[in-house]
Structure formats: C-alpha cells, structure tokens
Amino acid sequence: MSPQVIGLFLALSLAGLLTANPLLTVASIAVLPILLALVWVPGEPPVLAFVVGFQWAQATMRVFHADLVGADVGDLVTYPTLGAFAHVETATWLSLAGLVALALGIRAAVHTLAPPRLSALREEAEVFSIPRAFWLYLATTFVVTALAGSVGFMSGLKQILLGVEQLKWATFFFLGYLVFARREGYLYLVVAFAVEFVSGIGFFSGFKEVIFVTVITYFAVHSRVSVRTAVGVVALVGALAVLGAAWTVVKPEYRLAITGGEDDLQGAVVDQEEQISVLVGLISGLDRGDLVEGLEPLAERIAYVDFFGYVLGYVPAAVPHEGGAVWGDAIRHVLRPRILFPDKPPLVSDSEVTRRYAGVGVAGEGQGTSISIGYMAESYVDFGRVGMLLPVFLIGLLWGLLYRYFARGGESRLVAFAFTVALALWGYQLEVATAKLLGSLLMRFIVLALAFWIAAPPVARWLRADRKSEEDEPIALPTQGALT
C-alpha cells in the first residue's frame, strides 16, 4: 500500500474526530487498511478482501449513516421502540474486533503462500483462447441452469447444486481476467456480463453477484494500490450506491408487479421478459430526488449490527450464554450431510434463533422470510465478548486453508485463482448463520475440488488452443434460453 494511500486513510481518520461518533468513526476508518493488508496480496484475486470488506461495510454503515445525519449511532436502530435494549455501539466495536480476528485467521493460513508474479500471470493469460473461454462460460452456465431446472434447488441435493453453480463464476472470472489482462475481446465479456445481469433480474437482486465478480476480476489484474486506484474505488462505490438506491426505491412496487399483487409470494408469476420490462419502466421513471431518497433505506439495509446489539442486551441478562451449544449444533449438522443422512432434522429457522437470543419478534417462515443474528452474534451467545473472537478466528482460518488449497495447486495458477473466486463468493455477509456458513462452505469446497482435479486439467489444455484458431470462432449472441 503506497504512502499516499496510507496518508489518505490517516486524513480520513482525523476527520472522523469531528463527527457525531468520533472514536467509533476513527476506528471504523482505520481498521479497513489493516484488514486489506492482512488478506490480500497484489496479484491475487482480491476475493478474500471482498469477503472481509463487505462485512466491514455492514459493520460500519450504521456509524457513517449516523455521522451524516448528526445522530448517535444508537439512535438509528431497526426497531426504534426497542432502542434502549439495542447496544449498537458495543455491537459495532465487537464486529470490528471480530473482523480483525477473521482476517488474522485468514492470514495465518495463507501467509506462507508464494506471492504471484504479475508478469508470469500476464504471460499465462496470453496462451489461452478468449473465444474458447467464452464458450466454456456459456456451456457451464447452461449446464448449471439445466441441472437446477431438472433437479430443483429445493431437493436433497440442494447443497451440491449450489456448489456446482459456483463453477460458472470460475469460468466468468477466467474469461474476465484474459480480457482485462490482454485488453482485447471486450465484447465477449460484455455479453457474459449481460447474460448474468439479465438472468439475475427477478424477485431477489441476483444481478449484484456479476457486478461483484467483475470488480474482483478487474482488481486482480490492476492490483497496484495507489491514490488513483482509491479514487476509482470511490467512484465505483458511488455508482453502486446509485444502482442500489434505485433498486431499493423500486423494489416494493416491482415485486408486487411480478407476483401479481401477492405481497406474500417470494417468486415471480410472469416470465423474465416481463420482469425486465417492468423493472426498466420503474427505473426510467426515477428522478434525482428518488435516488437520494433511496440512499437512506439502502444504508439501513446494508448495516447489520442491530440484531447483534439486541443480543448483547438479551444475553446474558435474560438468556444465559450457551457455552458452545450453538457451535456444537452447527458442527454436528455439518458432519451429517443430508445426502447420507436423509432423516437428518432441518436446522432451526434463523428467525427462531433471533427470537430466542435477541428477544425480538421478527417475521419467520410463515411470512416467507428468515432473519438471522449472524455468525458473530452466535459466537457471542456461546462464548461472550472475548471468547467469541476464537471461533471467528477459526472461521477465518478455514477460509484461508480452503483458499490456500486451490491457490497453490494445479497446473495453472490462473485456473487455480478462478477456483478461489468460485469458492469464496459466498458467505460474505455478517448475517449468515454459523451452521449455514460452515456447511455451505465445505460442500462448495468438495464440489469445486472434484472439478479442480478431474475436469480442470483437460479443460485448461483445450483452452490453450492455437491463438490463430480464434479467428475461426466468431462471437454469437446467446439465445433467449441462455438468459433464463
């Protein structure tokens, strides 16, 4: 990290002393470069930096929101009538400490990895065919979509299918890296981006993942941290904030429109073409005032420390610490995969856990939703304010070990990095429950590891086609079926 960037963070930290929450603001700003320095080596895909950085945004958004409106951080809780019971400031401090523990766990696992040589990665990118990488991405996307449609994500094979689904992000990253590194073939990447963005339009904001992966890919190639990079990141965050504000404003009306007016449904009853038409129509009708109005609810949606704050007020005052029971249940659940134990009872719903340990009557499965206190709050429920840092450190260690497994193996470092992106692009939110985080992460690792050692070598050889053959493989727009 350049001295100019360090100076920028120091200046922002000092400016934080003038805000409504001075100490918390200074800490929130100062901890970010520490987290990034622990988890990212330039030249590697910054996917672990994304995982930690997104959670940092969730942990600190309430602070910056409060600073902008000149309020105490505890005055902006989700349920104002319960504000006296929400220890939001303490929850933010503990979340920041937890993120440092998470980053230290990652660092402990990856610190001995040999840093990649940018020149070697660029040279490797030259030997692969961009058109073939594009067709590989399309083929993988088609197979994933077909499997999901024929088997269904609600079957007992759900976790395996979700692992298979991650393969398309490996191929998307690989294609994007070739395009950005060689500065050619941008049309292939644009089409791939459009496929993912359009297919992600639906009841949920599935289109955001392709934006995240594209940004991760870009900074894997352009990894020099400078003031210019920092300015670019700020501009990118601003653009994403505008997009997020637009989605936040139109989301209620959009969901009602695509569900036929049934606000308790969590799926569309119209085809995707109609969904896109409705969304475009709603967004085109927005003005600057609408976007500004959407920024505040967007900030409230990103922030995720309130429920941790409620837990701090409820445990151990009303409910005692569990002494490892939450983590024990999570590990037992993970060690008994449903494909081998079909009679395994389902997990207790996240909303039930929230009601039990936060004392808040949140909506649950009956209302088609699930609200979690998150893995950090669950670790606090088990082990308290200091003890929670150890299991969070172990989660980071697990992230790092699985990342290391791919990053150091295989015939191609570039292919290996593509698999690290596919692995880490899940569980990047503070609200993920411990059992779901561990279970999904391990299942994705198993699926991706099998593909890495069985399918990746012959596919990589096919991708190393004679560059002259690219002239015989012109791009063609995908059919409508590939978009759905």
Question: pLDDT tens digits for 252-283?
Answer: 787 777 776 655 545 556 677 787 788 788 88
pLDDT digits 0-9 by tens, 437-481: 998 888 889 999 999 999 999 999 999 865 545 544 555 544 444
Amino acid present at 3:
P
Residue type, 375: Y
Q: Which residue has the tokens 């993120």?
A: 99
Phi then psi for residue 44, to 5 deg, are: -85, 155
- Report pLDDT for 460: 92
**pLDDT tens digits for range 289-322:** 888 788 888 888 889 999 999 999 999 999 999 9
pLDDT in tens, 97-121: 999 999 999 999 999 888 888 888 8
Q: Which of 390, 319, 300, 301 is nearest to 359 (CA)?
A: 319
For the ranges 215-219, 293-297, 300-304, 413-417, the lowest mean pLDDT is seen at 293-297
C-alpha distance from residue 33 to each of 7, 9, 25, 206, 278 (Å): 11, 8, 14, 29, 41
Residue 6: partners with Cβ closer than 8 Å, 6 or more residues away: 33
pLDDT of residue 479: 46
Q: Is the dihedral of CA 275, 281, 282, 284 positive or negative?
A: positive
- In terms of C-beta density within 10 A (0-12 exposed, 13-18 middle, 19 or more buried), how is residue 29 classed? buried
pTM score, two decimals?
Answer: 0.87
162-190 mean pLDDT: 93
CA 398 – CA 420 distance, rounded (Å): 13
Residue 34 has pLDDT above 70, yes or no: yes
Model pLDDT for residues 238-248, shown as the tens digit of each residue: 787 888 888 78
What pLDDT was estimated at residue 484? 40
pLDDT digits (tens, 9 = 90+) for 380-399: 999 999 999 999 999 999 99
Across the chain, what does the average pLDDT equal?
84
